[in-house]
């Protein structure tokens, strides 16, 4: 299958081939020949304007940002929280699609965090002004000063969409971001559904269940949904969770 855009041509493997999510790839021609890009080569994908949206949103029908933002917005309404008062830390922010969805639901302030500078550059290029600030950091290697400087944004919500696991954000980075959110803050994230089952080896099932068991996380709602299609066109099932961070007992 191929899709055309003015600045690039894009093609995916035949749907008969099946790849693990971190091995999926496409080929792109920006005018000087076809080049293969793994889906997880975000630095290269973000550099080509419109490619990320064409690939994941138009062709593979990604639904994660609206699904998790709708779930969060419903909980804000249910708990009588004015979205315009919310200050959200959006981790694994990429080129800003989640921030755009949050802003469309009336959220007041969104600050991005991503590990690669190409993500911030793409967010500034594609959605200028959407983030109040955008930090390029590795959350697993933050000094206390840098962590405190980011947390001084006074966050009362954390979002992390389509970015946990698979060599992306590891459990310890999620924990570091979680620690930057105020008590009673909202936490909204998506994760491949089988990462939350017994026998999971990603570390997320252990982290989330220990946060729930210790009372640090109070789940408000969750739903299993189709995150996107794989290149095989099979559905990839994720879980979206909205919770509140509570003071450790």
Ligand X SMILES: C[S@@+](CC[C@H](N)C(=O)[O-])C[C@H]1O[C@@H](n2cnc3c(N)ncnc32)[C@H](O)[C@@H]1O
Query: Which 59-98 positions form the footprint of ligand X (CB under 6 A)?
Result: 64-65, 91-94, 97-98
How many chain residues interact with ligand X (CB under 6 A)? 22
Task: Using the rule CB under 6 A, give the single segment among 2-10, 162-170, 200-208, 228-236 that binds ligand X.
Answer: 162-170
Near ligand X by CB under 6 A: residue from 55, 71, 76, 139: 139
Query: For residue 231, what are the contacts with CB-CB under 8 A and spacing of at least 6?
Result: 12, 13, 15, 17, 18, 19, 24, 25, 26, 60
Start-to-end C-alpha separation, the chain: 54
Q: What is the DSSP string of 32-54?
A: S-EEEEETT-HHHHHHSTTHHII
Near ligand X by CB under 6 A: residue from 24, 114, 126, 216: 114
Residue 164 DSSP label = B
Q: Is 217 in the site for ligand X (CB under 6 A)?
A: no
Q: How far is CA 141 from the centre of its chain?
A: 19
Near ligand X by CB under 6 A: residue from 11, 116, 182, 230: 116
Q: How far is the CB of 47 from ligand X (least distance, A)?
A: 12
Q: How far is the CB of 37 from ligand X (least distance, A)?
A: 13
Q: 91-102 burial, b if ≥16 CB within 10 A, otherwise e?
A: bbbbbbbbbbbb
Q: How far is the CB of 130 from ligand X (least distance, A)?
A: 12
Contacts with ligand X, residue ranges (CB under 6 A)? 42, 64-65, 91-94, 97-98, 113-116, 119, 138-139, 161-163, 168-169, 173
């Amino acid at each position: 299958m191929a899709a055309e855009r003015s600045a690039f041509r894009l093609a995916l493997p035949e749907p008969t081939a099946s790849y693990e999510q971190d091995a999926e790839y496409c080929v792109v021609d920006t005018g000087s020949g076809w080049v293969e890009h793994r889906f997880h080569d975000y630095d290269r994908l973000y550099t080509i304007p419109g490619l990320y949206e064409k690939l994941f949103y138009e062709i593979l029908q990604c639904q994660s940002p609206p699904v998790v933002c709708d779930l969060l917005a419903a909980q804000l309404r249910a708990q009588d929280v004015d979205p315009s008062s919310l200050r959200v830390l959006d981790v694994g922010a990429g080129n800003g699609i989640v921030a755009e969805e949050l802003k469309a639901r009336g959220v007041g302030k969104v600050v991005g965090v991503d590990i690669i500078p190409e993500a911030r550059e793409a967010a500034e290029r594609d959605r200028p002004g959407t983030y109040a600030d955008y930090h390029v950091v590795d959350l697993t290697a933050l000094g206390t000063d840098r962590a405190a400087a980011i947390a001084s944004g006074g966050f009362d919500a954390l979002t992390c969409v389509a970015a946990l696991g698979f060599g992306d954000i590891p459990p310890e980075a999620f924990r570091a971001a979680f620690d930057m959110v105020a008590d009673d803050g909202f936490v909204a994230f998506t994760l491949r559904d089988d990462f939350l089952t017994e026998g999971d080896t990603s570390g997320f099932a252990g982290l989330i269940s220990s946060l729930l068991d210790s009372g640090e996380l109070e789940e408000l709602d969750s739903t299993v949904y189709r995150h996107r299609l794989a290149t095989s066109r099979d559905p990839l099932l994720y879980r979206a969770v909205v919770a509140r961070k509570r003071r450790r007992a």
